[in-house]
């Protein structure tokens, strides 16, 4: 039997364990027999009040017999746990949906939960729990329907995972932060200044800009600066860099008799070196804060060259680093309206509206992340409560047939939330793909704070609304359906018992009339 989250592996077992405990308590205290006493009293009262014990009495006894049979049927099917339908921990399993980072996820079971559930918390669940026949059938049916629908829906790309991981990527090593700062000052600033001054438009530069985009010169790993002459190939660090060995052929400004501990690498080598290069260090840093980000980029754009894929990861890390290292900061400082006056102008013109959009976009992004993580857990806990309280519902409903159907609809409604969330996920991914049809634009802008904030705000609002409103709308619709079905079942069963009830009432009226006539004589 398939469930919809790691937590549900254990809340299902604990929920039905509590059901068994509560049912045993109701049986031991005799509460479970009270509905039968109520049925007997109701069917005795009408003819007794009428004072006639002829045909009406026999029909009322028939009505009593029918209601007792129906109540016993409910007890057998939906009340008493049966050994014929045990819920074994070995049959419960949960397989997470495949993602870009994990295309073949591991199937979790209570024995191998692949999580801390069952190991640190929710430990000690029963290996086997007996379920009433009706509820076992409801669980099997809802599980089969849900996962058949999910498997039948189109596969999603899970682009949100990239956004979340890209936002987490950062530099935690202070030595790497210092090295990036040194590269920024020694290599990028002089190269950027030369590029701004010369504005080259030769064929080679135009080709590079067409391949890597017009924004390529705006970040420290620019291919224009790496591949065009007189840029990174002609620049070196202004001071010795830890980790770079001294090279007498390169570091000629030092006496060979008293060499420094470290050398001053050329900017191209400093960025491109396979082991000590800054690009490699940034990719490694991404794994420390956003594990799997590099693999996500490869999955999204497998046709790109390895160097371009690694550049995307490095950009994500630098975007979340302090502003002095980011391309946006340098672009801001190189605008014609830069400086204090320009900053004041930009604040007056864009600060209020732009700040509000950025804040709202960030709020919805954080909200969506929290919602996506919490929804399956909320579902599992709601189901735990439903399973645990079912014995009381069964008894307090006086073993009603309509209760069986309405409670089954309730369980199916909550379980169906998983399908609705998958549908919302599918719509969300397609909206992202539609609004960012160019994957390179998506990779560079979608997770970059301050870029396309209105578009990202719209996406986050729509997606959050889908995840929350679809289950609410579905639950409201099913509540109406459940009430209608419950009334229909009550009406159908009343056809069986109403003749006896009507006969009892009529017999009582006849008896009262006869007594009145005798009294008048």
Cα gap 33→38, rounded to integer Å? 9
Beta-carbon contacts of 27 under 8 Å, excluding residues fewer than 6 positions away, are none
pLDDT at 81: 92
Distance CA 479, CA 319 (A): 48
Burial 427-437 (b: 16+ CB within 10 A, else e): bbbebbeeebe
Greater confidence (255 vs 514) lies with 255
398, 23 Cβ separation under 8 angstroms: no
Phi, then psi, of 400 in degrees rounded to 5: -85, 140
Question: 294: left (phi > 0), else alpha (psi -120 to 50), else beta?
Answer: alpha
Please indicate whether residue 349 or residue 85 has the higher confidence score (pLDDT): 85
Tell whether pTM > 0.75: no
Residue length, the chain? 521
Beta carbons of 504 and 47 less than 8 angstroms apart: yes
**Mean pLDDT of the region 122-126:** 80
Q: What is the DSSP letter of 82?
A: E
Distance CA 221, CA 315 (A): 8
Confidence of residue 367 (pLDDT cuts 50, 70, 90): low
Q: Are strands 128-131 and 82-88 parallel, antiparallel or unpaired?
A: antiparallel
CB–CB of 47/59 below 8 Å? no
Q: How far apart are CA 306 and CA 226, in angstroms?
A: 16
SS3 519: helix
116, burial (CB in 10 Å: exposed 0-12, middle 13-18, buried 19+): exposed
- Report the share of the chain in percent with pLDDT over 90: 27
pLDDT digits (tens, 9 = 90+) for 427-451: 888 888 887 777 776 776 665 555 5
Q: Give Cβ neighbours of residue 158 (< 8 Å, ≥ 6 apart).
A: 97, 99, 100, 425, 429
Q: Are 229 and 149 in contact (CB under 8 A)?
A: no
State residue 101's pLDDT score: 63
501 pLDDT exceeds 60? no
Residues forming beta bridges with residue 82, ordered by sequence position: 131
More confident residue, 167 or 133: 133
For residue 105, the 8-state DSSP code is P
Contact 188, 238 (CB under 8 A): no
CA-to-CA distance for 364 and 483, rounded, in angstroms?
36
Distances (CA, A) of 406 to 53, 481, 486: 37, 9, 6
Side-chain-side CA neighbours of 198 within 13 Å: the count stands at 17
- What are the tens digits of pLDDT across the range 273-313? 988 899 999 999 988 888 888 888 888 888 888 888 898 88
- Average pLDDT on 158-175 reads 81
φ/ψ of 123, rounded to 5, equals -85, 160
Q: Which residue has the higher pLDDT, 329 or 242?
A: 242
Token pair listed for 337: 């309206």
Name, in order, each residue with C-beta under 8 angstroms of 178's C-beta and a sequence gap of 6 or more.
none
Q: Where are the domains of the chain?
A: 8-160+359-517, 162-352
Considering only the C-alpha atoms of the chain, give the largest distance between any 2 of them, rounded to a whole number of Å.
Answer: 144
Q: What is the pLDDT of residues 104-116, one digit of tens each?
A: 888 888 888 888 8
With contact defined as beta carbons under 8 Å apart, do 108 and 114 qualify?
A: yes
| Cα–Cα dist 158/162, whole Å | 8
**193: exposed, middle or buried (Cβ count in 10 Å: 0-12, 13-18, 19+):** exposed
| Per-residue pLDDT tens over the stretch 10-63 | 999 999 999 999 999 999 999 999 988 888 887 777 665 655 555 556 666 777
Q: What is the pLDDT of residue 54?
A: 53
Q: Is the dihedral of CA 128, 131, 135, 138 positive or negative?
A: positive
Tell me the DSSP string of 324-389: GGSHHHHHHHTSTT-HHHHHHHHIIIIIHHHHHHHHHHHHHHHHHHHHHHHHHHHHHHHHHHHHHH
Q: Which residue has the tokens 């900017």?
A: 267
pLDDT at 139: 92
> What average pLDDT is seen over the chain?
79
pLDDT at residue 327 in the model: 44
Cβ atoms 364, 461 nearer than 8 A? yes
State the Cα–Cα distance between residues 168 and 343, nearest whole angstrom. 28
């Amino acid at each position: 039997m398939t469930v919809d989250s790691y937590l549900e592996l254990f809340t299902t077992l604990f929920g039905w364990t509590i059901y068994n405990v509560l049912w045993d308590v109701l049986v031991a205290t005799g509460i479970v027999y009270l509905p039968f006493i109520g049925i007997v009293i109701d069917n005795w009262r009408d003819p007794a009040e009428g004072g006639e014990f002829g045909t009406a009495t026999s029909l009322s006894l028939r009505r009593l017999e029918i209601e007792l049979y129906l109540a016993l049927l409910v007890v057998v099917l939906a009340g008493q746990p049966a050994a014929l339908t045990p819920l074994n921990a070995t049959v419960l399993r949960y397989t997470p949906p495949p993602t870009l980072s994990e295309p073949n996820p591991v199937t979790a079971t209570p024995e191998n939960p692949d999580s801390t559930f069952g190991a640190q918390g929710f430990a000690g669940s029963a290996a086997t729990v007996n379920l009433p026949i009706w509820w076992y059938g409801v669980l099997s049916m809802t599980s089969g329907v849900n996962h058949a629908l999910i498997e039948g829906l189109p596969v999603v790309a899970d682009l949100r995972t990239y956004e979340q991981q890209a936002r987490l990527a950062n530099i935690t090593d202070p030595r790497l932060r210092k090295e990036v700062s040194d590269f920024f000052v020694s290599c990028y600033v002089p190269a950027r200044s030369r590029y701004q001054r010369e504005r080259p438009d030769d064929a080679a530069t135009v080709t590079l800009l067409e391949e890597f985009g017009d924004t390529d010169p705006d970040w420290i790993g620019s291919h224009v600066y790496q591949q065009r002459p007189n840029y990174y190939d002609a620049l070196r660090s202004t001071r010795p860099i830890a980790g770079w060995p001294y090279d007498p052929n390169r570091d000629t400004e030092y006496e060979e008799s008293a060499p420094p501990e470290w050398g001053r690498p050329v900017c191209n080598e400093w960025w491109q070196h396979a082991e000590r290069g800054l690009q490699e260090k940034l990719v490694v840093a991404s794994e420390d804060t956003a594990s799997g980000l590099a693999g996500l980029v490869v999955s999204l754009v497998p046709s790109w060259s390895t160097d371009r894929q690694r550049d995307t990861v490095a950009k994500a890390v630098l975007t979340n680093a302090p502003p002095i290292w980011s391309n946006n900061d340098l672009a801001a400082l190189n605008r014609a309206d830069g400086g204090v006056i320009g900053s004041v102008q930009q604040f007056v013109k864009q600060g209020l509206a732009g700040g509000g959009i950025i804040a709202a976009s960030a709020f919805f992004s954080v909200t969506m992340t929290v919602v996506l993580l919490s929804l399956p857990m909320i579902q599992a806990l709601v189901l735990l409560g439903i399973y645990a309280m079912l014995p009381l519902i069964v008894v307090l409903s006086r073993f009603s047939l309509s209760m069986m159907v309405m409670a089954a609809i309730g369980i199916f409604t909550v379980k169906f939330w998983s399908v609705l969330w998958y549908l919302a996920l599918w719509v969300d991914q397609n909206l992202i793909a539609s609004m960012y049809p160019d994957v390179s634009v998506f990779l560079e802008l979608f997770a970059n704070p301050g870029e396309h904030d209105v578009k990202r705000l719209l996406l986050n609002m729509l997606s959050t609304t889908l995840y929350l409103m679809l289950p609410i709308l579905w639950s409201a619709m099913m509540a109406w359906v459940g009430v209608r079905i419950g009334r229909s079942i009550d009406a159908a069963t009343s056809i069986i018992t109403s003749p006896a009830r009507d006969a009892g009432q009529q017999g009582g009226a006849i008896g009262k009339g006869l007594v009145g006539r005798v009294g008048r004589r």
